[in-house]
Chains A and B, each alone.
Chain A
Amino acid sequence: MAHDATTTGTGNTELVRVATSESRFARYGLIGIALCFVALFLVLPLAAVFTEAMRNGPGEFFTVLSDPETFAAIELTLLVAVIAVPLNLVFGVAAAWAIAKFEFKGKAFLTTLIDLPFSVSPVISGLVFVLLFGSHSLLGPWLQSHGIQILFAVPGIVLATVFVTFPFVARELIPLMQEQGTSDEEAALSLGASGWQTFWYVTLPNIKWGLLYGVLLCNARAMGEFGAVSVVSGHIRGLTNTMPLQVEILYNEYNFVAAFAVATLLALLALLTLVLKSLLEMKYSAQIAASRRH
């Protein structure tokens, strides 16, 4: 009955309705389902994390965060990100540059290789490093005799993070650079610019929004990576635990407030990334579109 009423009420618009538009009922139904889904799977867990962390008040929240081990985990996470993100920035730009602007043998293979970290489980990524640097590996004895500690130490964590987050920058840039082609660079060269000047004044400005976007995603993953880091870290408290690992340890010890407090920080990082990403998209979508269009 209600459905009948609406159709008669909107009889005029029915006539001119575009073929692709749905009835009101279907539209609101779909929106409703989507909202429920988002609420159930995204908002609710986030809210749970925050309320759990604040259960005993903000005072407790800050106390648990200033616990030396937790604090060390935060420091380590920042350190890893500070090393891994710039490295992948450079690697990513170099790889994208090579793939997009040059012709060489094995290019398709290299492109596939860049995607590898995305396609294998992070745990496997971690295990690769254990196989490479572990005491039973080829390199292991040599490293040991020279007193170089890679596994279960900061270098291993950095390596695993770099490996896992490698594709973000490169994958963002490759299609962008391919679309832009090489004529801008050739124009700069023909005007007398050196290779470096060409990169700095022409290529970089052309890709900067894509690059920023890639770096943002890369950073989020670098700070949040669990699987690969978990395998190589050794979980030494106060030394080789990053924030995600620390959350797990605290949680397993039934230290819920502390676990959720650290989780809150990670969640905030995710939110911040999202906000920055949307800001970037909003503010520069026109320019990104323009630079893709040319």
Chain B
Amino acid sequence: MEVRVQNIRKEFSRFPALNDVSLDIRSGELIALLGPSGSGKTTLLRLIAGLESPTEGTVYFGNEDASRKTVQQRNIGFVFQHYALFRHMTVLDNVSFGLTIRPAGRRPSKDEIRKRALELLDLVQLSGLEKRYPAQLSGGQRQRVALARAMAVEPNVLLLDEPFGALDAQVRKELRRWLREIHDRTGHTTVFVTHDQDEALELADRVVVMSKGKIEQIGTPDEIYDTPNSPFVFGFIGESNILRVRVENGQLWIKEHSIGVSALGEADGPAQLYFRPHDIELLDGNGGCIAGLVAMTRRVAGTRHVELDIGAANSKVEIELPPEKVTSDHSRIAFRPTRWKLFRD
């Protein structure tokens, strides 16, 4: 189901955890809320769920104003960060819970409920564990029970709060791929919270980057990565370098050196140049480049990371080079960013 969040403000005893947040979630979409700790991701998720009520603003489910609906009436599936499985119930009872507590009129028969729960356990690859108790499961297994339990009620929207937060890196990666598969198979509109950018970029159809209670940018993983629209997003997503530069006559300058990057149409004045370590080309010349001395090199998987001391700008940058390019410390390297962005302060 389509979910629209409109001009939401949420205060906790005067402290604004969310400030004028608007977000349209399309039906069947897998959306990631990404941001540093305390940016309001969980709060936004809980507001959609109805576990919190907004100080101002409205949440729409389809065309209906959901603000006046209780959590129960919204029919959502919520997966909590620490799973919140019912520890005194078996895995099967946990998954069946949402159906068994329905009033007699809307409740499927016992056999039906059991069948559906078993199907879901099969979907999350937990067949055969239905008689276990949560305490007898691994973290990854609990996570999947929590997901099956949330999906059992055929929710309008599936909300997951850091679904993989408590798991180790290997399991995270597996579950990530698997969640995408499940989503593609079931087609639930899904919102998940994460502070892991790889997770968000790899998994989501669209990523919502949040900071300090505001949405910084909404876009596909490509848009977010390639055209970040604020210094925050640029710095938060992926690796980035920042250099103080000056715009003059459509050219970028560091002190009195032109760096060979033309910025036509940019107004003159000081600015911050942002570029990614791998978006550079090496040059031989002396003019029209950024030059620095190698301070340190590191081999990271398939690339060589080189830290350069840029004397002119009095700062350090990191660039990525092919591994066959061997550099010695204090040798001089000249380069030019091929893809970059200017932000004014």
Contacts and interface: CB of A to CB of B under 8 A. Distances in A.
Partners in one complex: yes
Given A190-B71, A191-B149, A206 B82 contact: no
B51 interface: yes
B101 A183 contact: no
B295 to A, nearest CB: 47
A78 interface: no
Contacts of A294: 87
A202 B72 contact: no
Given A192-B98, A206-B87, A187 B135 contact: no
B86 A184 contact: yes
A178 interface: no
Nearest to A205: B88
B75 interface: yes
Contact of B135 (A183, A184, A290): A290
B101 A197 contact: yes
11 contacts: A186-B51, A186-B84, A187-B84, A188-B101, A189-B72, A190-B71, A191-B149, A192-B72, A192-B98, A192-B102, A193-B98
B193 interface: no
Classify chain A's interface size.
Answer: 10 to 19
A183 B102 contact: no
B78 A192 contact: no
A28 interface: no
State the 7 A-B residue pairs at the shortest beta-carbon distance, nearest first: A191-B98, A183-B84, A190-B78, A187-B84, A205-B88, A189-B71, A193-B101
B97 interface: yes
B80 interface: yes
B337 interface: no
A202 B88 CA distance: 8
A183 B82 contact: yes
Interface string A268-294: 000000000000000000000011001
A191 B51 contact: no
Nearest to B149: A191
B77 interface: yes
Given A191-B97, A192-B102, A194-B72, A202 B78 contact: no
B49 A190 contact: yes
A290 B86 CA distance: 12
B175 interface: no
A201 interface: yes
Interface string B77-94: 110101011111000000
B153 interface: yes
B29 to A, nearest CB: 20
Interface residues of B, number: 24
A186 B71 CA distance: 9
B76 interface: yes
Interface of A: 183-184, 186-194, 197, 201-202, 205-206, 290-291, 294
Contacts of B78: 186-187, 190
A184 B82 CA distance: 10
A201 B97 CA distance: 9
Nearest to B88: A205
Contact of B87 (A188, A201, A290): A290
A190 B87 contact: no
Given A197-B101, A202-B86, A191 B153 contact: yes
Nearest to B78: A190
A108 to B, nearest CB: 16
Contact of B84 (A184, A193, A291): A184
A188 B77 CA distance: 10
Given A183-B80, A183-B82, A290-B135, A192 B75 contact: yes
A116 to B, nearest CB: 29
Contacts of A186: 51, 71, 78, 80, 84
Contacts of B75: 192
Contact of B101 (A201, A205, A206, A290): A201
Interface in B47-105: 49, 51, 71-72, 75-78, 80, 82, 84-88, 97-98, 101-102
A180 B125 CA distance: 29
A183 B85 CA distance: 9
Nearest to A191: B98
Contacts of A197: 101
Nearest to A183: B84
Interface string B132-153: 0001000000000000011011
A161 to B, nearest CB: 32
